[in-house]
Amino acid sequence: MIAPSILSADFARLADEAAAVEGSDWLHVDVMDAHFVPNLTLGLPVVESLLKATDIPLDCHLMIENPGRWAPPYAEAGAHNVTFHAEATDDPRSVARDIRAAGGKAGLSVKPGTPIEPYLEILKDFDTLLVMSVEPGFGGQSFMPEVLEKARAVRKLVDSGELKLLVEIDGGINTATVEQAAEAGIDCFVAGSAVYGTADPAEAVRSLRTQAAKASPHLTIAN
Ligand code: DX5
Ligand code: ZN
């Protein structure tokens, strides 16, 4: 799965930018509050408008404080997947429960320096694990390959049937890095600058998908 990140799109033309990546599996929406991360992007009103403007399922990545208060409304509004950060709450399970009760899929994200072991037990209450491969806050940063260890560890648990969840990666994914991430067992690849920084975003999505599928140990190519 490929999830183009609109962080690298033109914010004044979001409906057109969503249409430009038609055929993508998810549209990744980075919500930043200038507290959990130093940057500020967009919030619920923009997501509500975007939901009316596109049929691509929205993958909301909340880089915000107090997700217990702010995350469930994104699911209520109709976002497909609502991911918040493990570092932002003491009670990730109850936030996941509230997101699911509001009709969304629940995602847990970990920053590059956050170990995964303390969270393995609660991952059964989640639909997605989002492994950050850059420090959250900005697009266009360099991929950190060391985070793939976490993806491999969780992949093993998924393959053995102990966990049932989708493993997603975010940050620095492009034609030079997508294969190593696929080899580590990633299911869903977020790409911002590698999609919207090109002349043909839809073609960039297709070629990233083909490259990822070829390198993936657990997938066969559909086309
Ligand atoms: C960074 C965001 C990413 C960002 C990725 O904090 O979470 O989703 O858009 O951008 P690229 O793909 O350019 O690294
Ligand atoms: Zn993101």
Residue 221 inside a domain? The answer is no
Q: Which of 130, 141, 169 to mutate to test the pocket of ligand 1 (most atoms within 8 A of CB)?
A: 141
Output the pTM of the full model.
0.97
pLDDT digits (tens, 9 = 90+) for 102-116: 999 999 999 999 999
pLDDT score for 217: 86
Nearest atom in ligand 1 to the alpha carbon of residue 32 is 6
Residue 223 lies in a domain: no
Would you state the pLDDT for residue 220? 53
- Confirm whether 220 is domain-assigned: no
pLDDT of residue 219: 63
**Spans of the chain below 50 pLDDT:** 222-223
Determine the structural domain holding residue 46 and report its residue range. Answer: 2-215
What's the gap in Å between 201 CA and the centre of ligand 2? 17
For the sheet containing 2-4, what is the strand order? Answer: 2-4, 188-191, 166-170, 128-132, 105-110, 81-85, 58-63, 27-32
Number of domains in the chain: 1
Q: Is the dihedral of CA 11, 15, 20, 21 positive or negative?
A: positive
Q: Considering the domain boundaries, does residue 19 fall inside one?
A: yes
Question: Cα-Cα-Cα-Cα dihedral of 114, 142, 129, 11, to 10°?
Answer: 120
Q: Give the pLDDT confidence of 2-37 residue by residue, as tens digits.
A: 999 999 999 999 999 999 999 999 999 999 999 999
84-93 tens-digit pLDDT: 999 999 999 9
Q: Is 53 exposed, middle or buried (0-12, 13-18, 19+ CB in 10 A)?
A: middle
CATH number at residue 84: 3.20.20.70
118: left (phi over 0), alpha (psi -120 to 50) or beta: alpha
Q: Is the CB of 170 under 6 A from ligand 1?
A: yes
Closest listed ligand to the CA of 60: 2
Instruction: Classify residue 20: in a domain, yes or no.
Output: yes
Q: Is the CB of 198 under 6 A from ligand 1?
A: no
